[in-house]
Structure 1
Amino acid sequence: MKNQFLLFLLLVLCFQHEEVCSADSDALKIIADFNDPKMGVAFTMLSIQEWQNPSAQHFKETPSQKNQSLQAVTISNATKSIFPYPADTRYGLLFSLEEDKGFYRFFAMRAPLGNCKPGEAVLTQLITEKPAIDYNSPKIFNWAVQCGEKQVPFCGRCTDGGPCAGPLVLQEGWPVIGKLVGYSQFTKAKNSIVDDTGLSCDWNPKSNGWNEFDTSGLSSTALIGVLHDQLNTAIGAQVPTDTELCGYLNATGVTHKTWPVLALTSAQHPAQGTRLKRERLLTCK
């Protein structure tokens, strides 16, 4: 009887405060995804200038081949000791990689695949020797999108470096895997790159090293909330105010007014990886 009463009370509270319950639900789901090594979460860290000067141009519900907004995200999970990219703040945006959110369709390739039709392409693992770091060389990629006999590097790897910058894509927009590649194919390649991140990364083996995946814009439907990096305390001296956080989130075009803020911290035992926890809810006007 007591449990039924508590459930009834929770339902009443959620009916009255739907935004709060939705934000709490999003926080619980993204924490569960972070704790699942086969799923993980994506995040991108923002500078104080970005927080203070928000723009909606990066955010879309669906990706566009002509999007001129190349973005870089890192993917991690609880088994990894990845430090987020050291921006001048320790605050960034947190994204879901669940299939129904559609963010995987935004992930970029280094060049167009011509007339390849939806579902015809596959992500193929490349066998390469360990090279010197040359960010303009296709040898730095472990995965390629293949359609027929044509292969195009997939813009993700176990270290930093802007793998998809170049004159062609700057002129024409960054091509995305979109509907060419299925979610299971993307997940296989993504998990392989995340698994290699850290000491297993051939090009840049660091225990706290981060990976980089390039995307053509950012998914408004996959945006979950704010990430607070509590791992790399040596950087990020500037702290955006709640007004600045809300100003940016409001500019994304997403109608939420209540957002979860989640903290990325060390696990109880550092050798066990990292922990994502709900820090607070941010209510915006």
Structure 2
Amino acid sequence: MGKEEQLLTTSIRNSINEAHKIVDKITNLSLDNTLESRDKPNPAMDEADELLEWYLTKLYREVGMLAERMQVPRTAMRIAAEFDAIKNITSVAASNFDTGLASPHLSSIGGYFESLATMTQGTEVTGLEVFRTILENTPAIIQLAGVAPEKESRVQEEVMKVLKIAFPGAEREPSISHVFKRYKPDFGVRSLMAAAEYKFADTLSEVKKSLDEIYTDMKGYAGHSDWRTFYAVIYTTDRLVNPKEIEAEFLSVGADVQWFPIVVVGNGGRKSKRPARPQAGGGAINRVNRNRSS
């Protein structure tokens, strides 16, 4: 990517860091604000709110510009529409882990940015690229392991071995907690803020079912500041679908921009259910018939 995109990326990252500092300051000011002083003027809080508004406005504008430069117009349009719909850009709320306050708008624009940031890294290899490369090479991992998986858990078992080598902090089923419910993607690397969900498909109908399950996962995983990039890996045992078709499907349904589909073809297949063999002597049905006739 060009030098301009590199510089814009650096500027955005610095602004995100500064905005997080302001949110931390607002948290501390809120804790210091006693019941008696809440109705009194608070110049420090007013200043923090003004700074947060300035940085968030700047971020929505610059991340939108980055999306346009990276030739991702749909993302740029989503960012602009989200910004226009915001009624109170300085609003903050308690974080999911009771560690203070968090800005939902900062989390949202930060998620958009992280999805675009890896595209500006040029030839530099990032952790996210390594993570994705491992996922894309799932068939090779399965082949080297010499297994023929019959379900997704067997695929996950072999991929996890490789992930642990590349990322010692890789987790199996990390928890993504919300107020009333807890979700668990198949893999996660917290240092990358990235997670992956695997689906095993042996037929075209299973591919369609996997997509429905992935769309449900999107809603459950969304809005958590600790996880910003998600990969949906559909492991098929035959060339059931063109990966480009899945990418087009994601666009057509307005899938979350933080989710990236990966379709791979590898060894294996679901275990066929063979009909039970009849027992010697005509089986149980014949024995019942003989008893009735006697």
- When normalised by structure 1's length, the TM-score is 0.23
In proportion to residue count, which structure has more strand?
A: 1
- When normalised by structure 2's length, the TM-score is 0.22
Higher-Rg structure is: 2
More relative contact order in 1 or in 2 (CA 8 Å, sep 6+)? 1
In proportion to residue count, which structure has more helix?
A: 2
